[in-house]
Amino acid sequence: MRKTLITVLFAATLPTIAMAMPDDGQRHHSGKHSPFEQLDLTKEQRNEMRQLMGEQMKSHREITQQYLGKLPEAERKAMQEELKASQEKTQKQIRDLLKPEQQKKFDELHKKMAAKRADRAEFQQWKAERDQKN
């Protein structure tokens, strides 16, 4: 149970960490692979997004620490809801920074990421059911 919670928390923060990476950092891939690179953000927008993402990561850590010692179902559910609300707030703030054409692209990318997460969840469920049968 604890490993699952840690895995979920890690998976939830990984995209945030990737998006908060400074522009002058070395990258292993060329081209525009990350969702925010495809938005053609201005330097000011990138800086504001980094600040928002940093605040969201800090908030995420604080919420996680608040609930980590309390792993019963009710607390776990409360933590997940609070984390989701925090993430949605940050997503809205990020979207509000964007120009209309960037917002459209952002929404498309957000839908693609959600579809990938849903596919992954479906695969994990299928895999768990298969393992139970064996």
Give me the mean pLDDT over the 11-32 stretch: 52
Cα–Cα distance for residue pair 101/39, rounded to 1 Å: 9
This model's pTM is above 0.85: no
What is residue 7's predicted lDDT score, i.e. its pLDDT?
55
Q: Give the pLDDT band (50/70/90) at residue 109.
A: very high
Section 42-64 average pLDDT: 89
Query: CA 125 to CA 25: how far, in whole Å?
Result: 37
Predicted local confidence at residue 104, as pLDDT: 93
Percent of the chain with pLDDT over 70: 72
